Amino acid sequence: MGLVQIRQLRAIALDLALLAGHLLLYPTGLRQERPPAPPPPGAAARLPMDGRAHRPVLLLHGFIDNRSVFAPLRRSLGRHGRPHIEALNYSPLLCDLRTAAALLGRHVEEVCARTGHGQVDVIGHSLGGLIARYYVQRLGGDVRVHTLVTLGTPHGGTRIAPLLSAHPLVRQMCPDSEVITELRQPAPDCRTRFIAFWSDVDQLMIPAETARIDHPDVISQNIRVNGIGHLALAVHSSVAVRIREALDAPDEAPTDASGTVSVA
């Protein structure tokens, strides 16, 4: 057995172990998260702080999942200076990714109005990253989203999707879908920073490089993760460290659209 096959088997074993643990947490994330309670009457109003360390973070899960998948990442971000973190559940019964993107847009506006911040950061796992990208690139969300981090997202479409194509959302993740075609179109003046984490052993991204962002009009960085499977991208501590670094990076930090960085 070759080294590549061994690394793939290890990644599958880790994902299966994580899946077992995630199934225990899954019921805790079924209900939509309630926004933080407003301050009591007479309390001093909190002034908006738009510095990069203080932007709210929104978490968007993948297909047939919920916000519970982000429990470890959420704790990591909270321990390192990100006090305002929210997760948005979208229904697997939705039949159009565009509908979920519009829902995300309404939630972003509500968070900005409630917190006084002009922008948010978004972290999307798998399909969640594609929904967030559609909002940013096609619905004007680049005004509100400062940085979009995607984890194992099929930016170029994945060839595994036809095997599960009974669901419309899955069909929209195919390489030749209308949604993927729209995202290939020009996006002049797109202001959002894109950080795409992709794994060399991601079992659901075929080919693995489809989780990279390669678009001439967007500011993007692709970060390669070695030996970590699809589900582990959302929970692995090494990835969490790099996510925090990406969110805290100054706006003027250079990005390399073609370079990759190994984090595991």
- Does the structure show a pLDDT above 70 at 194? yes
In the CATH hierarchy, which fold is given to the domain comprising 3-29+54-248?
Rossmann fold (3.40.50)
Q: How confident is the model at residue 14 (pLDDT cuts 50, 70, 90)?
A: low
Closest C-alpha among 144, 69, 76, 68 to residue 111:
144
pLDDT score, position 184: 97
Closest C-alpha among 130, 127, 135, 129 to residue 103:
135
Q: Read off the tokens for 47.
A: 């002034």
Closest C-alpha among 132, 264, 248, 245 to residue 198:
264
- Does the structure show a pLDDT above 60 at 258? no
- Does the structure show a pLDDT above 80 at 51? no
Question: Mean pLDDT over residues 125-153, rounded?
Answer: 97
Q: What are phi and psi of 66, to 5 degrees?
A: -150, -175
With a pLDDT cut of 70, the percent of the chain lying above it is 74
- Does the structure show a pLDDT above 70 at 67? yes
pLDDT score, position 13: 62
Q: Which residues pair with 221 in a beta bridge?
A: 195
What is the value of pTM for the model shown? 0.83
- Does the structure show a pLDDT above 60 at 161? yes
- DSSP class per residue in 11-73: HHHHHHHHHHHHHHHGGGGSSPPPPPPPPPTTPPPPPP--SGGG--EEEE--TT--GGGGHHH
Please give the residue that has the higher pLDDT: either 249 or 41. 249
Whole-angstrom distance, CA of residue 71 vs CA of residue 66:
10
